[in-house]
Structure 1
Amino acid sequence: MSPAHVLEPTYDTLRRRLLMGAWPAGQRLEAARLAADLGVSITPVRDSLNRLTGERLIVSQPGDGFHVPRLDEAGLRGLLDWHHAIVTMALGRERAGRPDEFQLTGGDLPERSAHLFASLVARARDEELDWAIENAAARLGRFRHHEAAVLAEADKDVGAIERMMDEADSPGLRAAIDYHHDRRRSAVDQLIAASRGGQII
């Protein structure tokens, strides 16, 4: 195992690149090339790739190396549905009392989305749900980077939920979350094409 002072920055860099969609779906991730690019030895790169495999951010098969996952339409719909189910479950379990005040975050649309849904789920005060939404958001990250190009005014869906955060478990908040989910679910073919570097229709 690599020392933490080398492993953690290596892992963080690779994870951030995956979430940003730096590599297209199906891309083979060669440890030696990544190590040279990052200026580290191959050991922390391999350790990081194995850790990312455990998080399902990349896939690995014996003799075939590490690859960026290649989701089909059913796979992406399933991931979107899982994300939606986590948020819905958290809303139903929200603890009594005044929820933590929601703090808007800067950044691009994927960062805003991840922060928004993590904040919603955090109100349930359930560590399992916190981990699940963080992992689902990470796996959706490379698709979220294409939402603005694929969906007209995608930022307005996120903005509507942000504005309703102080309404807690209101029907309006749930409706806005459902609308956000349905729009992305209906565009999975375009999101997949964009993540593969294909032409967006």
Structure 2
Amino acid sequence: MCRHCSHFVTYPVFHGLPPTYVYKYRESGGRFGDLLAGLALYNLGRASAEHWQYTHYYPVRSDEKCSMQVIDRKHFEETKLPCFVMSSFVARSPESFFPDSNALDITSPQIDIKPYLQHNGSSLKITREQECVLWHNTTLNKERNIIPCALLKEYSETMKPSGIPVYVWLPSTLALVTTIYVFCYCLCKRKIRKEQDPVNTGTIIGYCSTQY
């Protein structure tokens, strides 16, 4: 997925059920829905690969604004997004990792992203040439990060329509199917063995006839 790399690059995976805002993006039907769902999953994976007890809390700032630009040689589009969705890309001071009661837990199912959902036409067609540029702007600073849009699309496509990533539901489904198969196999084998056994297993005592 890394266009400029000569070897395979591994990317972090978020283990567990994703928060509701991930599949709200995925099922929003918006133009950037797939990319934002992919970014949210990628961000959760990056955060969980670091010091998770700190990185899944994000100190929201009143003066910050975040956006994502989709760029290639002939195309440019931009959309706003809540900064916590790209929290692992935001530079943070050591003090920001201290416990803060006002920090946002990026895994919370209570997060509301309705103000950011856009129902603006068909989903954007993603190509390998496009770059997704993440901007984090504050009053005194601007940060930029560049990600291949195709990578975010890949993250998004690991999800079922219900929002559960393939790497979460597939192993569970296979384990369940295997368990059912083994149970049915053992049950059928026991039944066949039982039917093959004779009905009367005791010794049959016959009558002896005496000839005169």
TM-score, L = length of structure 1: 0.24
* Structure possessing the higher relative contact order (Cα contacts under 8 Å, 6 or more residues apart): 2
Higher strand residue share: 2
TM-score, L = length of structure 2: 0.23
Higher helix residue share: 1
**Structure whose alpha-carbon radius of gyration is higher:** 2
